[in-house]
């Protein structure tokens, strides 16, 4: 189910990014974030109680003015502040349910964008750590790695405390490669390695549902395979905009927030 949602989301995001393919990746992210911010505001306007939100915000403004104008009268000021606090809780109760509803598509979208703008493929001759975490009861010595041509791997490093087996892998050519792990006679798992070829990479494949939600993978750990997670430590992707380097999540937040606030004014939506 999660894999199907991830594939559908990836296809939709790829289609949305296609007209922006001529832009730098930083401008791509800023553009799609701005569009998403406006869409979120429109959805919020549909699923929230706009008339009650508007009335609550007016009441809050009135109680603020009352506490300012009658600040020399302690009884009136305290009463206004108490009512202001109560209206604040009313506003929170009205705003939270639609925000919770909207958080589901937000998490799914952010998970996909993280694979595109949070990390990047390896470059030729650039090394990365591949780490497999196996379940209890599986001998670490039984875990081995087979690499294709154009990829070199160091001998494994085994950590019994964390139940991990790690290799340093280094490609000498561009392309997409399969790193095949064998867990004794319990089965195999193939981890994709992207070298200079893809905009979207798969840094983590997990059997845990919350990690599958946050890190959608092209592969799936088969039922019965005693493997908890496989992580390939891709480097962070640099995003440069206006002469400075940005964290992708911060850039997404600022662009979507600015466009969302502008959209709320244009479409007269209370937020």
Domain boundaries, the chain: 2-119+245-266, 128-232
* pLDDT tens string 36-94: 999 999 999 998 999 999 999 999 999 999 988 988 888 888 999 999 999 999 999 99
pLDDT, mean of residues 12-32: 90
Q: What is the dihedral of CA 106, 108, 113, 119, to 10 degrees?
A: 130
Does the pLDDT at position 208 exceed 90?
no
When pLDDT is cut at 50, 70 and 90, the band that residue 7 belongs to is confident
pLDDT band at 185 (very low <50, low <70, confident <90, very high): confident
Task: State residue 222's pLDDT score.
Answer: 79
Coil/strand/helix, residue 169: strand
Predicted structure pTM score: 0.85
Distance CA 47, CA 41 (A): 10
pLDDT of residue 27: 94
Residues 132, 135, 141, 147, Cα dihedral to 10°: -30
Q: What is the mean pLDDT of residues 112-130?
A: 94
Distance of CA 89 to the CA centre of its chain: 30
Mean pLDDT of 183-200: 88
Q: How far apart are CA 105 and CA 270, in angstroms?
A: 21
> Does residue 66 sit in helix, strand or coil?
helix
What is the per-residue pLDDT for 219?
83
What is the C-alpha to C-alpha distance for residues 144 and 142, in angstroms, rounded to an integer? 6
Q: Round the average pLDDT of the chain to a whole number and report it.
A: 91
For residues 251 and 237, give the distance between their C-alpha atoms in angstroms, rounded to a whole number: 13
Q: How far is CA 131 from the centre of its chain?
A: 21
175-197: burial string, b at 16+ Cβ within 10 Å, e else: bebebebebeebeebebbbbbee
Q: What number is the average pLDDT over the span 164-190? A: 94
pLDDT of residue 82: 93
**Using one digit for the tens of pLDDT, what is the confidence trace for 85-111?**
999 999 999 999 988 988 888 999 999
Q: What is the mean pLDDT of residues 255-265?
A: 94
pLDDT band for position 114 (50/70/90)?
very high
Contact 142, 122 (CB under 8 A): no
- Work out the angle at residue 242's Cα, subtended by the Cα atoms of residues 241 and 247, and round it to the nearest 5 degrees: 35
Helical (H) or strand (E) element with 267: none
Read off the pLDDT band of 1 (50, 70, 90): low
Read off the pLDDT band of 221 (50, 70, 90).
confident
Q: Which CATH class is domain 128-232?
A: mainly beta
Residue 20 region by backbone torsions, left for phi larger than 0, else alpha for psi between -120 and 50, else beta? alpha
* DSSP H or E segment with residue 1: none
């Amino acid at each position: 189910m999660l894999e199907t949602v991830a594939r559908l989301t990836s296809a939709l995001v790829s289609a949305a990014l296609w007209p922006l393919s001529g832009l730098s990746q930083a401008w791509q992210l800023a553009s799609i974030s701005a569009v998403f911010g406006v869409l979120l505001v429109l959805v919020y306007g549909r699923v929230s109680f706009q008339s009650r939100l508007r009335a609550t915000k007016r009441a809050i403004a009135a109680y603020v003015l009352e506490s300012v104008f009658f600040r020399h009268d302690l009884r009136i000021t305290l009463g206004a502040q108490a009512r202001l606090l109560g209206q604040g809780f009313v506003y929170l109760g009205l705003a939270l349910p639609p925000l919770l509803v909207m958080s589901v598509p937000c998490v799914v979208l952010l998970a996909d964008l993280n694979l595109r703008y949070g990390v990047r493929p390896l470059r030729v001759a650039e090394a990365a750590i591949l780490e497999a975490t196996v379940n209890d009861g599986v001998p670490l010595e039984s875990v081995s790695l087979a690499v294709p041509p154009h990829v070199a791997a160091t001998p494994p490093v085994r950590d019994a405390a964390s139940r991990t087996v790690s290799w340093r892998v280094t490609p000498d050519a561009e392309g997409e490669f399969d790193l095949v792990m064998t867990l004794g006679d319990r089965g195999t798992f193939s981890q994709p390695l992207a070298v200079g070829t893809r905009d979207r990479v798969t840094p983590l494949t997990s059997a845990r549902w919350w990690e599958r939600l946050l890190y959608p993978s092209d592969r799936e750990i088969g039922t019965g395979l005693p493997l908890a997670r496989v992580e390939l430590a891709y480097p962070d992707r640099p995003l440069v905009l206006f002469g400075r380097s940005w964290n992708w999540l911060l850039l997404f937040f600022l662009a979507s927030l600015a466009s969302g606030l502008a959209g709320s004014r244009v479409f007269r939506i209370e937020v």
